[in-house]
Amino acid sequence: MKTDVTPTANTDDESWFASAAKVYPASVKGRFRNIKWAILAVTLGIYYFLPFVRWDRGPNLPDQAVLIDFERKRAYFFFLDIWPQEVFYITGLLVMASVALFLMNAIAGRVWCGYLCPQTVWTDLFLRVESWIEGERRQRIALDRAPWTGSKLAKKSLKHFIWLMIAWWTGGAWVLYFADAPTLVVDLATGQAPLAAYIWIGILTFTTYSLAGHMREQVCTYMCPWPRIQAALTDEYALNVTYRADRGEPRGHLKENRKRVEAGLPAGDCIDCYQCLHVCPTGVDIRNGIQLDCIQCGLCIDACDTVMTKIGKPTGLIAYDTDDNVDRREQGKPPIYRFVRPRTIIYATIIAGISALMLYSLMNREYSGLSVVHDRNPLFVVQSDRSIRNGYSLRVMNRVPEEQTLLLSISGMPEGSEFEVVGTPTNANGEVAVVVGPDRTRALRALVFSPEGVKMPSTSELVFILKNPKTGEVSTIHDFFRAPAQ
Amino acid sequence: MADHKKEIDNVTGVETTGHEWDGLKELNNPLPKWWLYIFYATIAWSVVYWILMPSWPLINSYTTGLLGYSQRSVATQEYDEALEARAQTGQELMNASLEEIQNTPQLLEFAMANGGAAFADNCAPCHGTGATGFVGYPNLQDDNWIWGGTLDDIAMTISYGVRSEHDETRVGEMLAFGRDELLDKEQVKTVSNYVASLAGLDTNPSYDMAAGKELYAENCASCHADNGTGLQELGAPNLTSPSWVYDRSVEGIVAQVNNPRHGVMPAWIDRLGETTVKSLAVYVHSLGGGQ
Radius of gyration of chain B (CA): 37
Domain assignment present for residue B25? The answer is no
Cα dihedral A471, A475, A476, A477 sign = negative
Please report residues of A whose CB lies closer than 8 A to that of B243: 382, 384
Q: What share of chain A has pLDDT > 90, as a percent?
A: 67
Q: Looking at the structure, do residues A96 and A118 belong to the same domain, yes or no?
A: yes
Q: Looking at the structure, do residues A196 and A250 belong to the same domain, yes or no?
A: no
Q: What share of chain B has pLDDT > 70, as a percent?
A: 98
CA–CA dist A318, A286 (Å, integer) = 8
The residue-averaged pLDDT of B231-239 equals: 92
Please report residues of B whose CB lies closer than 8 A to that of A7: 1, 4, 17-19
Residues 6 or more apart whose Cβ sits within 8 Å of residue B17: A7, A8, A9, A10, B25, B26, B27, B28
Q: What is the CATH number of the domain that holds A469?
A: 2.60.40.10
- Using a CB–CB cut-off of 8 Å, the residues of A that contact B are 1-2, 5-11, 15-20, 215, 218, 222, 375-378, 381-384, 386, 389, 391, 422-423, 435, 442-443, 445, 447
Domain assignment present for residue A197? The answer is yes
| A vs B: CB pairs below 8 A | 114
Q: Looking at the structure, do residues B122 and B98 belong to the same domain, yes or no?
A: yes
Q: Looking at the structure, do residues A473 and A440 belong to the same domain, yes or no?
A: yes
A313 Cα distance to chain centroid: 41
**Tens-place pLDDT, residues A258-311:** 888 888 888 888 999 999 999 999 999 999 988 888 999 999 999 999 999 998
Please report residues of A whose CB lies closer than 8 A to that of B14: none
**Tens-place pLDDT, residues A157-189:** 999 999 999 999 999 999 999 999 999 999 999
Domain assignment present for residue A160? The answer is yes
Domain assignment present for residue A26? The answer is no
Domain assignment present for residue B269? The answer is yes
Number of structural domains chain B divides into:
2
Domain containing B86 equals: 79-168+265-286
Q: What is the CATH number of the domain that holds B270?
A: 1.10.760.10
Greatest alpha-carbon pair distance for chain A in Å reads 117
Antiparallel, parallel or unpaired: β A318-321 and A66-69: unpaired
Distance from CA of A7 to the nearest CA of B (A): 4
Q: Which of A10, A19, A375 sits opposite B33 (nearest CB)?
A: A19
Domain containing A160 equals: 31-226
Q: Looking at the structure, do residues A202 and A77 belong to the same domain, yes or no?
A: yes
Q: Looking at the structure, do residues B269 and B137 belong to the same domain, yes or no?
A: yes
B70 has a chain A CB within 8 A of its CB: no
Q: Looking at the structure, do residues A475 and A372 belong to the same domain, yes or no?
A: yes
Domain assignment present for residue B22? The answer is no
Measured at the alpha carbon of residue B225, what is the angle toward residues B220 and B231, in degrees to the nearest 5?
105
Q: Which of B102, B130, B143 sits opposite A383 (nearest CB)?
A: B143
Please report residues of B whose CB lies closer than 8 A to that of A421: none
Q: Which of A384, A389, A442 sits opposite B241 (nearest CB)?
A: A384
Query: For position A5, what pLDDT does the model report?
Result: 45
B16 vs A422: CB contact, 8 Å cut-off? no
Mark which of A307, A330, A353 sits at the end of a domain. A330
Q: What interhelical angle do A181-190 and A150-176 show, nearest 10?
A: 130
ipTM score of the complex?
0.77
Q: Looking at the structure, do residues B157 and B200 belong to the same domain, yes or no?
A: no
**Tens-place pLDDT, residues B48-78:** 999 999 989 999 999 988 998 889 989 999 9
- Which of the residues A2, A3, A8 would you substitute to probe the B interface, choosing the one with the greatest number of B C-beta atoms within 10 Å? A8
Distance from CA of B211 to the nearest CA of A (A): 27
Domain assignment present for residue A260? The answer is yes
CA–CA dist B118, B124 (Å, integer) = 9
CA–CA dist B267, B160 (Å, integer) = 4
Q: Looking at the structure, do residues A164 and A269 belong to the same domain, yes or no?
A: no
Residue B70, sorted as left (phi over 0), alpha (psi -120 to 50) or beta, turns out to be: beta
Residues 6 or more apart whose Cβ sits within 8 Å of residue B254: B178, B188, B189, B192
The residue-averaged pLDDT of B265-273 equals: 95
B4 vs A19: CB contact, 8 Å cut-off? no
B291 has a chain A CB within 8 A of its CB: no
Number of structural domains chain A divides into:
3
On the question of pLDDT at A100 being above 60, the answer is yes
Q: Looking at the structure, do residues A92 and A112 belong to the same domain, yes or no?
A: yes
B279 has a chain A CB within 8 A of its CB: no
Q: Looking at the structure, do residues A209 and A258 belong to the same domain, yes or no?
A: no
B17 vs A9: CB contact, 8 Å cut-off? yes
Nearest alpha carbon to residue A313 among A247, A216, A392: A247
Domain assignment present for residue A124? The answer is yes
Q: Looking at the structure, do residues B86 and B219 belong to the same domain, yes or no?
A: no
Q: Looking at the structure, do residues B106 and B156 belong to the same domain, yes or no?
A: yes
Antiparallel, parallel or unpaired: β A381-382 and A80-82: unpaired
Q: Looking at the structure, do residues A217 and A244 belong to the same domain, yes or no?
A: no
Domain assignment present for residue A151? The answer is yes
Q: Looking at the structure, do residues A453 and A388 belong to the same domain, yes or no?
A: yes
Mark which of A303, A330, A357 sits at the end of a domain. A330
Domain assignment present for residue A117? The answer is yes
Antiparallel, parallel or unpaired: β A404-411 and A459-467: antiparallel
B30 vs A17: CB contact, 8 Å cut-off? yes
Q: Looking at the structure, do residues A320 and A443 belong to the same domain, yes or no?
A: no
Q: Which of A18, A391, A443 sits opposite B30 (nearest CB)?
A: A18
Beta strands in A191-248 (DSSP E): 240-243
Nearest alpha carbon to residue B169 among B97, B96, B94, B270: B270
Q: Looking at the structure, do residues B212 and B272 belong to the same domain, yes or no?
A: no
Q: Looking at the structure, do residues B156 and B271 belong to the same domain, yes or no?
A: yes
Domain assignment present for residue A431? The answer is yes
Q: Looking at the structure, do residues A196 and A311 belong to the same domain, yes or no?
A: no
Q: Looking at the structure, do residues B215 and B89 belong to the same domain, yes or no?
A: no
